Amino acid sequence: MNIDSILDALFPRGHAVTVADQVIAGEATTAAGTVTVLGTTDAAAIDHRIALTLARRVIDTAELHPGRPIVFLVDTSGQALSRQQELLGLNGSLAHLAQCVDAARRRGHPILSLVTANAVSGGFLSFGLMADRVYALADAQVRVMDLKAMARVTKIDHERLVALAASSPIFAPGADNYQRMGAIEAIWDRPDAARLDSALAELAAAPRGEDRRMALGWERGGRSLAAATAAAVMAAPPAA
Amino acid sequence: MNALLSRRRSYFEATARARVAGLLDPGSFAEFLPPAESAPSPHLANLDLPGAFDDGVVVGGGRLAGAPVLVAAQEGQFMGGAVGEIHGAKIVGLLRRAVREKPAAVLLLVDSGGVRLHEANAGLIAISEIMRAVLDARAAGVPVLALVGGSCGAFGGMGIVTRLCSGVVMSEEGRLSLSGPEVIETVAGVEEFDSRDRALVWRVTGGKHRYLTGDCADLVEDDIAAFRQGATDFLAKWREPAPDLTRLRADQVRLETRLTRFARHRDGLDVWAELGIPRPEEVPLLDRDTLVALKEGLPA
Amino acid sequence: METLEFIFDSDPALHPAQPAALCGVVGSGNLEILVQPGEDAGLCTVRVKTSARGFGTTWQAVLGAFAATHAAGGTRIDINDMGATPAVVTLRLGQALSEYHQGGAR
B 29-68: CB under 8 A from C: 34-36, 40, 45, 48-53
Amino acid at C86: P
Q: Which residue of A has its CA nearest to B129?
A: A211
Give me the numbers of helices (H) and strands (E) for chain C, helices first please. Answer: 2, 5
Give yes or no for a cis peptide into A238 (omega within 30° of 0): yes
In whole angstroms, give the CA distance from residue C56 to residue C48: 10
Beta-carbon separation of B40 and C49 below 8 A: yes
Beta-carbon separation of C22 and B15 below 8 A: no
In whole angstroms, give the CA distance from residue A13 to residue A68: 17
Which residues in A lie closer than 8 A to residue B128 (C-beta atoms)? 125, 129-130, 183, 213
Which residues in C lie closer than 8 A to residue B79 (C-beta atoms)? 26
Respond yes or no on whether ipTM tops 0.95.
Answer: yes
- Mutation pick from B9, B13, B15 vs chain C, by most beta carbons of C within 10 Å, is B15
Q: Residue A223: pLDDT band by 50, 70, 90 thresholds?
A: very high
Beta-carbon separation of C82 and B53 below 8 A: no
In whole angstroms, give the CA distance from residue A158 to residue A136: 26
Single out the residue of C91, C18, C78 nearest to residue C48, CA to CA. C78
What is the three-state SS of C28-53? Answer: CCEEEEEEEECCCCCEEEEEEEECCC
Whether B141 has its CB under 8 Å from any CB of chain C: the answer is no
Chains that contact B by 3+ CB pairs under 8 Å?
A, C
Quick: pLDDT tens for B164-205.
999 999 999 999 999 999 999 999 999 999 999 999 999 999
Q: Which residue of A has its CA nearest to B61?
A: A238
Residues of chain C that touch chain B, judged by Cβ-Cβ distance less than 8 Å: 1, 19-20, 22, 25-27, 30, 32, 34, 36, 49-51, 78, 80-82, 105-106
Q: Residue C105: pLDDT band by 50, 70, 90 thresholds?
A: very low
Chains B and C touch (3+ CB pairs under 8 A): yes
Quick: pLDDT tens for C48-90.
999 999 999 999 999 999 999 999 999 999 999 999 999 999 9
Residue A240 pLDDT exceeds 90: no
Residue A75 contacts residue A128 (beta carbons within 8 Å): no
Average pLDDT of every residue of chain C: 92
What angle is formed at CA B29 by the lines to CA B27 and CA B31, rounded to 5 degrees? 135
pLDDT of C102 reads 80
Q: Residue B3: pLDDT band by 50, 70, 90 thresholds?
A: low
Residue B148 contacts residue B209 (beta carbons within 8 Å): no
Instruction: Taking residues A196-223, report their average pLDDT.
Output: 96
Beta-carbon separation of B178 and A230 below 8 A: no
Beta-carbon separation of C49 and B52 below 8 A: no
Quick: pLDDT tens for A27-80.
999 998 999 999 999 999 999 999 999 999 999 999 999 999 999 999 999 999
Residue B129 contacts residue B85 (beta carbons within 8 Å): no
Residue C17 pLDDT exceeds 80: no
Residue A24's DSSP bridge partners are: A19, A39
Give yes or no for a cis peptide into B26 (omega within 30° of 0): no
How close is the nearest chain C Cα to the Cα of B21, in Å? Answer: 8
Residue A198 pLDDT exceeds 70: yes
What 8-state DSSP symbol labels residue A185? Answer: -
pLDDT of C106 reads 40
Single out the residue of A105, A236, A182, A227 nearest to residue B97, CA to CA. A236
Name the strand (E) or helix (H) holding B230. Answer: helix B224-237
Which residues in A lie closer than 8 A to residue B262 (C-beta atoms)? 87-88
How close is the nearest chain A Cα to the Cα of B5, in Å? Answer: 33
Q: Give the CA count within 13 Å in the CB-facing half-sphere of B294.
A: 24
Residue B176 contacts residue B147 (beta carbons within 8 Å): no
